[in-house]
């Protein structure tokens, strides 16, 4: 026993002595200035950028530490550094040093600041990082390596990295069209890389993002499985939390070299789509310069060109209680796929506002065209849906809020081109039908104007709608109403005509027809009987003139005149007998006089 303890003490002492000798000898054998110069040169060659390092140090137990690191930016972008970091640590395994091997088990980046920029043409400051060095530079580099290694023999360095971590980092994305996004307090750790072919790699990350002037914590946790041929990656469970919300998304990536092909299944019980999109696409700061019209379109097209034609993505989205801007959906279930820079989106079960929505759409990223055919919206509660839709996407139409109640059904097919206004509206082509049942319309401007002019006070009140059906077509910013029919117990409204959004005026030749029941027409002058039909309804036709915001109702008298002339038919026939011996021209003149007389009578009735 004593002998064993003696040998243990000798061995332990020898190891301690060896460690002390190594602590003294290694820095002498490998001067820190050499480490600094070597790291600067290699990083500059690898990144195609100028790299500067303030100092380097070597601790036998902690490893190599580089301090004050700065990586220059692309020469065509801002003068700010691409990357700066307080320190960069390489932690190695101690004992393999004596076998001539360097096994790096962890790389740690402390307080890095990373800047990614994208100009108005869609070019990024990352592009030159992947550029291949010129043949001349390659030859010179090879010559330098030969000179450096001449007479040194072969050295074996196993650069195996097991863990990577970032502490207290900041990531800034500056798009010169949309503005600046930032992630701060970024902490990331990737562990288990060495045994990736045996067991999953662990990844944990957290950061704070700013959205609509609010700080939102974000965390990501997952395990990554790497296939034996390095041609596939499996993420059994990716968990993302955004403030109090979150989602999980298993991902499979195959054919990494030849594709890749990606499949996923995103699911959540409560997710703000608006926040998720906003964190990815919305700026936290106002752009320094206002982008020219069409610049964003060019940028997206440029980005799309960087996608491989072989890239394929296929996935499903299943969300309960999804929120987009002000819109609140009970469920959102969709299939999405991308192939050949074309996206297919099928919303098969979207519920909210008491109804259901479904659509099939296709988007071509190469030319930014889209097609939705068909879009079916059934049984939506019109009042909250329309109000939330206006608040979310068309705040300029606030005067249309709180105007409609009832059950809303919509059937549309549309296609067009563009991703920004006014291009989207300019190029939109829409065919559709809108139906409103068991509802109410509140204070319609065109009917109010008619009520003011002809003292029809009941038109100023809300209109109970048994049924409203409108069919129309939008082309070149002109909405053509093929038919619009509204039925109430005391009022029927019909409209045919066009609305020109280019000049915000009604297209000439439109016709608005009002039919008032005997109850509604009580109190009107007896002269209005000329407008009554066989049911006793008073019929009045108008043409809407001028602005869409304040239309001017102009009476259309053709039908009333024809009816009046019909009543005077006997008189006309009698007149024909009297003037039978007259010339044809005289007969026509007499008939025209009777027509003018009827027209003047109608004008008197309408106080026109």
pLDDT computed for residue 155 by the predictor? 44
158 vs 474: which has the higher pLDDT: 474
170 within 8 A of 187, measured Cβ to Cβ = no
409 within 8 A of 444, measured Cβ to Cβ = no
Q: Say whether pLDDT at 143 is over 60.
A: no
CA-derived radius of gyration, the chain:
38
299 vs 187: which has the higher pLDDT: 187
Q: Say whether pLDDT at 284 is over 60.
A: no
Q: Can you read off the two tokens belonging to residue 525?
A: 């002058």
377 vs 33: which has the higher pLDDT: 377
pLDDT computed for residue 535 by the predictor? 78
Give the confidence band of 219 by pLDDT, cuts at 50, 70, 90. Answer: very high
- C-alpha–C-alpha distance, residues 486 and 495, integer Å: 9
- Least confident range of 13-22, 35-44, 74-83, 107-116: 13-22
Residue 222's Cβ-side half-sphere holds a number of Cα atoms within 13 Å equal to 20
Residue 584 parent element (H or E): helix 584-606
Give the confidence band of 212 by pLDDT, cuts at 50, 70, 90. Answer: low
Q: Can you read off the two tokens belonging to residue 309?
A: 């034609």
143 vs 346: which has the higher pLDDT: 346
Q: Say whether pLDDT at 148 is over 80.
A: no
Count of positions (residues) in the chain? 608
Q: What's the pLDDT tens digit per position in 195-204? A: 777 889 999 9
Phi, psi for 264 (deg, rounded to 5): -150, 165
Q: Which of 188-192, 280-284, 292-296, 352-356 has the highest mean pLDDT?
A: 352-356
pTM comes to 0.70
52 within 8 A of 14, measured Cβ to Cβ = no
Q: What's the pLDDT tens digit per position in 447-479? A: 777 777 666 666 777 777 888 999 999 999 999
DSSP string, 260-326: -EEEEEEEEEEEEHHHHHHHHH--SB--SSPPPTTHHHHHHHHHHHTS-TT-EEEEEEEEEEEEETT
- C-alpha–C-alpha distance, residues 595 and 562, integer Å: 8
pLDDT computed for residue 96 by the predictor? 65
447 vs 118: which has the higher pLDDT: 118
Q: Buried b vs exposed e over 241-254: b needs ≥16 C-beta within 10 Å?
A: ebeebebbbbbbbb
pLDDT computed for residue 188 by the predictor? 93
pLDDT computed for residue 100 by the predictor? 56
344 within 8 A of 337, measured Cβ to Cβ = yes
pLDDT computed for residue 95 by the predictor? 66
Give the confidence band of 6 by pLDDT, cuts at 50, 70, 90. Answer: very low
Q: Say whether pLDDT at 25 is over 90.
A: no
Instruction: Please compute the mean of the pLDDT values over residues 391-402 and round it to a whole number.
Output: 75
Average pLDDT of the chain to the nearest whole number: 77
Instruction: Please compute the mean of the pLDDT values over residues 416-426 and round it to a whole number.
Output: 80
pLDDT computed for residue 429 by the predictor? 93
Check whether the bond before 106 is cis (ω within 30° of 0).
Answer: no
Q: Say whether pLDDT at 5 is over 50.
A: no
- C-alpha–C-alpha distance, residues 459 and 449, integer Å: 9
Q: Say whether pLDDT at 277 is over 70.
A: no
pLDDT computed for residue 395 by the predictor? 73
Instruction: Please compute the mean of the pLDDT values over residues 247-273 and round it to a whole number.
Output: 88
pLDDT computed for residue 536 by the predictor? 77
Q: Which of 401-405, 467-471, 559-563, 585-589 has the highest mean pLDDT?
A: 467-471
pLDDT computed for residue 230 by the predictor? 79
- C-alpha–C-alpha distance, residues 97 and 154, integer Å: 15
Give the confidence band of 362 by pLDDT, cuts at 50, 70, 90. Answer: very high
For residue 149, list its beta bridge partners.
Answer: none
Instruction: Please compute the mean of the pLDDT values over residues 229-242 and round it to a whole number.
Output: 88
Residue 109 parent element (H or E): strand 104-110
405 vs 596: which has the higher pLDDT: 405
Give the confidence band of 272 by pLDDT, cuts at 50, 70, 90. Answer: confident
Q: Can you read off the two tokens belonging to residue 402?
A: 């709180």
Burial status of residue 56 (CB atoms within 10 A of its CB: 0-12, 13-18, 19 or more): buried
Q: What's the pLDDT tens digit per position in 47-71? A: 788 889 898 887 766 678 889 999 9
């Amino acid at each position: 026993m004593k002998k064993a303890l003696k040998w243990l003490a000798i061995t332990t002492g020898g190891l301690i002595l060896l460690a002390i000798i190594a602590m003294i000898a290694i820095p002498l054998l490998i001067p820190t200035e050499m480490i600094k110069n070597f790291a600067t040169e290699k990083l500059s060659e690898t990144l195609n950028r100028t790299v500067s390092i303030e100092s380097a140090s070597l601790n036998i137990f902690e490893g190599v530490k580089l301090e004050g690191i700065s990586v220059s930016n692309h020469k065509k972008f801002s003068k700010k550094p691409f990357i700066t970091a307080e320190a960069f640590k390489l932690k190695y395994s101690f004992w393999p040093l004596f076998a001539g091997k360097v096994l790096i088990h962890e790389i740690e980046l402390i307080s890095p600041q990373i800047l990614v920029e994208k100009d108005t043409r869609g070019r990024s400051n990352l592009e030159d990082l992947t550029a291949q060095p010129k043949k001349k530079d390659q030859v010179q580099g090879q010559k330098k390596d030969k000179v450096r290694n001449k007479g040194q023999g072969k050295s074996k360095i196993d650069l195996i990295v097991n863990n990577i971590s970032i502490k207290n980092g900041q990531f800034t994305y500056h798009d010169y069209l949309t503005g600046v996004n930032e992630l701060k307090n970024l902490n990331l750790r990737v562990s288990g890389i060495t045994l990736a072919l045996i067991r999953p790699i662990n990844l944990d990350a957290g950061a704070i993002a700013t959205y609509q002037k609010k700080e939102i914590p974000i965390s990501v946790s997952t395990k990554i499985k790497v296939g034996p041929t390095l041609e596939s990656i499996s993420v059994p469970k990716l968990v993302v939390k955004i403030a109090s919300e979150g989602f999980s998304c298993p991902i499979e990536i195959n054919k990494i070299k030849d594709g890749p092909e990606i499949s996923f299944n995103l699911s959540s019980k409560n997710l703000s789509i608006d926040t998720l999109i906003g964190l990815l696409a919305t700026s936290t700061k106002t752009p320094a310069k206002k982008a020219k019209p069409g610049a964003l379109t060019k940028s997206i097209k440029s980005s799309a060109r960087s996608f491989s034609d072989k890239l394929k993505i296929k996935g499903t989205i299943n969300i309960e209680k999804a929120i987009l801007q002000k819109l609140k959906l009970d469920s959102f279930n969709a299939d999405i796929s991308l192939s050949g820079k074309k996206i297919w989106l099928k919303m098969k079960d979207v519920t909210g506002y008491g109804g259901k929505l479904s659509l099939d759409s296709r988007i071509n990223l190469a030319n930014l065209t889209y097609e939705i055919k068909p879009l079916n919206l059934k049984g939506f509660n019109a009042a909250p849906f329309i109000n939330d839709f206006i608040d979310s996407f068309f705040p300029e139409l606030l005067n249309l809020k709180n105007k409609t109640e009832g059950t809303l059904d919509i059937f549309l097919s549309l296609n067009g081109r563009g991703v920004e206004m006014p291009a989207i509206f300019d190029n939109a082509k829409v065919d559709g039908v809108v139906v409103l049942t068991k509802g109410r319309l509140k204070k319609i401007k065109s009917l109010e104007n008619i009520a003011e002019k002809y003292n029809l006070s009941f038109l100023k009140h809300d209109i109970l709608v048994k049924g409203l059906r409108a069919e129309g077509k939008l082309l070149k910013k002109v909405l053509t109403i093929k038919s619009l029919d509204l039925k109430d117990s005391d009022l029927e409204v019909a409209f045919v005509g066009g609305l020109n959004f280019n000049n915000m005026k009604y297209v000439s030749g439109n016709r608005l027809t009002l039919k008032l029941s005997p109850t509604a027409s009580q109190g009107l002058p007896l002269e209005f009987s000329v407008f009554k039909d066989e049911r006793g309804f008073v019929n009045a036709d108008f043409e809407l003139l001028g602005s869409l915001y304040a239309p001017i109702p102009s009476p259309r008298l053709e039908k009333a005149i024809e009816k009046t002339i019909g009543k005077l038919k006997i008189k006309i026939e009698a007149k024909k007998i009297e003037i039978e011996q007259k010339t044809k021209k005289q007969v026509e003149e007499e008939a025209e006089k009777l027509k003018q007389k009827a027209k003047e009578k109608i004008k008197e009735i309408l106080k026109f």
